[in-house]
Amino acid sequence: MSELRWDPIKLHWVIIATERGRRPRDFQVEPEGDGMLACPFCYGNEDKTPPEIYAIRPGGAPNTANWRVRVIPNKYPALRVEGELNNRGYGLYDVMNGIGAHEVIIETPDHDRTLADLTHHEISGVLTAYRARYLDLRRDSRFRYMVLFKNHGSRAGATLHHSHSQLIAVPLLPPVATTALRVSRKYFSEKERCIYCDLINFELREGERVVREFSNYVILTPYASSSPFELRLYPKRHSHDFALMNDAQLAELAVAMKDMLLRVKTVLKDAPYNFILHTAPPMHRRTGKPNHWSSLEYDYHWHIELVPRLTQVAGFEWGTGFYINPTSPEDAARFLREADL
């Protein structure tokens, strides 16, 4: 029988439709072609992108070849750094200028290698670039939240085949972040414990939805997964802010990320996916709210969310806010655990 499951952090219901019982082979997606003749992210085409903001390279001048990771402004940004917010009312509506930042992290100079194909050392370099850009952007007091995400495959929203991720800084807290932060703070104020730590400890005891456990990280399928083969990667020790990690912690995270991405690529035949890095917002002082972030470092817990794009949102989902997942998270965890890597 199907089950309705409640997500206590996202505050929504999910239908686990076990009668449909879909297996990995039922989600096979046709391989995507790459019709691009000249990729602007490849070696030698540095002049075809905006000037780089950050790069990891053994040597050489900026905006030349010989780089391992490169960060550039998005050529067609959703938001721009220049200007003032000018937050104002418009009838019953609110409006402000499109102020923010929109950057692209080019993860490798090799056009046909995915993030899952990179070595642990190379993925560690990508994570180092993530950390550097977080630390830089959050110094701007106009930016209240940064979201780092990756779209892999055109069905997941990628417009270029070359492996890359994006970082967008916005001048307000998005609804998804607001919900998670409020839930975390309320739980901590009532129990003096982190809700994510309690969730992780419960899942480790249960074991049924754990895909892989490392010394300091765990990969699991959420109990109320909205989509088939949805995954979370958590640090096992409490940590609210990804950007505060040191090099050794980033190196270990790279091992866990490689494992997670390789399992998804193997089991789902390189299906399209999105991943999002959820971390604490900048702790800027807010006028009239002196205690706004007083418990943030104790109640929030950074994590990575990965969602393979195997199903589509249709009328029922739009009309109710419920998601129908045809593969139970317990089955998904088993398929991923048993993957022959």
Question: What would the DSSP string read from start to end of 166-212?
Answer: EEEEESS--HHHHHHHHHHHHHHHHHSS-HHHHHHHHHHHH-TTEEE
- Domain 3-27+34-80+92-284+291-337 is found in CATH 3.40.50.12280: no
The full set of domain ranges for the chain reads 3-27+34-80+92-284+291-337
According to DSSP, residue 141 is labeled: T
Structure tokens at 43: 């070696």
Tell me the three state secondary structure of residue 263. Answer: helix
| Model confidence pLDDT, tens digit, residues 177-230 | 999 999 999 999 999 999 999 999 999 999 999 999 999 999 999 999 999 999
Global pTM exceeds 0.85: yes
| Model confidence pLDDT, tens digit, residues 281-335 | 998 777 777 667 789 999 999 999 999 998 888 888 889 888 899 999 999 999 9
Checking DSSP bridges between strand 12-16 and strand 3-7, what pairing results, if any? antiparallel
> Which are the contacts of 263, defined by CB distance < 8 A and separation ≥ 6?
211, 212, 219, 336, 339, 341
Active site (catalytic) residues: 164
Structure tokens at 122: 């190379």
Measured between alpha carbons, how far is 26 from 332 in angstroms, rounded to an integer? 13
| Rg of the chain over all Cα atoms, to the nearest angstrom | 20
- Residue appearing with tokens 């456990």: 213
Q: How many CB atoms lie within 10 A of CB 289?
A: 9
